[in-house]
Structure formats: structure tokens, C-alpha cells
Structure 1
Amino acid sequence: MILHGKFGRTQITSFVEGGTGWNNLLPDPDPATLGGIGLGLRWLVANGLTVRLDYGIPLVSVDNSGNSLQEQGFYFSVRYRKAF
């Protein structure tokens, strides 16, 4: 879904992601394979400037003793790309 407004475009996004990690010299992490699903907002502020906020839900249980926003499933980014 794309919303056009006075301050740029806003998109509602969904995602499914997964990945596997390993170590060459140390024991592999446990679990080595992670996955998640989620929703996000992408705000195209101006030509080349994007602000994004995502919320993800893990599909694999992991030991998580932290309480940061990232450990609760939130991800925030600001990206600027200049055309050459």
C-alpha cells in the first residue's frame, strides 16, 4: 500500500526473512538458523532519502536477556542515496 502526501510517500511493507550463521574457529551459535516475519513503514521523504521502521516477530526461539528496542523486535534506519 502506498500513500502519497504533502511530505512524500509512505509505504506499508511486510517481510519474511531468514539466515544461517556459523564460525570457522569457534563453536557455531545456537541456534545457527533464525527466521522472522514482520511489518514496516517506509517513508520516502525526498529524492534519495528514506526513513524506515520495522517490527519483526521471531519464528525461532532464542535466549534473549536484553531489553533494548532492537531486542524487542524494532528496527529503525535512515538511508540517503545520491545519484552520480
Structure 2
Amino acid sequence: MSPVAHAAHLRLPVMVVNAEFENPWLDVYGLEFAHAVGMARGAAPLHLTVADHNHVSIMAHFNTQEQWLGEQMLQFCARVFADCR
């Protein structure tokens, strides 16, 4: 049931985000998934770590003064859509 088991079959662009203060092993699982995608594709997907956050707070800060992750996501989407043209 792990997402890692399906990494080789993904056809969509992938962006993996972890928080600096994750619950035990969530950061490792995120890196493991990014590694599996990279091995299957021959290139690593974008992987980001959000400093000073945990796995809940990276989502809770949207629509606040802290814009870094949202900007990264918009840039990722812009690159994906540019590659599709």
C-alpha cells in the first residue's frame, strides 16, 4: 500500500515536500518516495523541505504572510505547464 510501490508507474510530474520537524520517519518516507521516482525516471523529482514547520503547519500557513511554499508550488506548476506546450 506504500506510495513507494507505485513510484515507477507515475506519469504525472512529482513534487515532494517535507517539513523540517516531521513526525518520526515521515521525512524518510518522503525521501524514499522521491528516490524511487528518480530511479524509475532517471532523474530525481523536485524535493523541498520547509524550515521551521511540521507536517500540519506547512499546510496551515497558506494565505498567511509566509509565501515561500506557495511560490515554489506556483513555479513548479508553471514549469510543468510550459513543458506541456
- Give the TM-score normalised by structure 1: 0.25
Q: Which has the higher strand share?
A: 1
TM-score (normalised: structure 2): 0.25
The structure whose RCO (Cα within 8 Å, separation 6+) is larger is 2
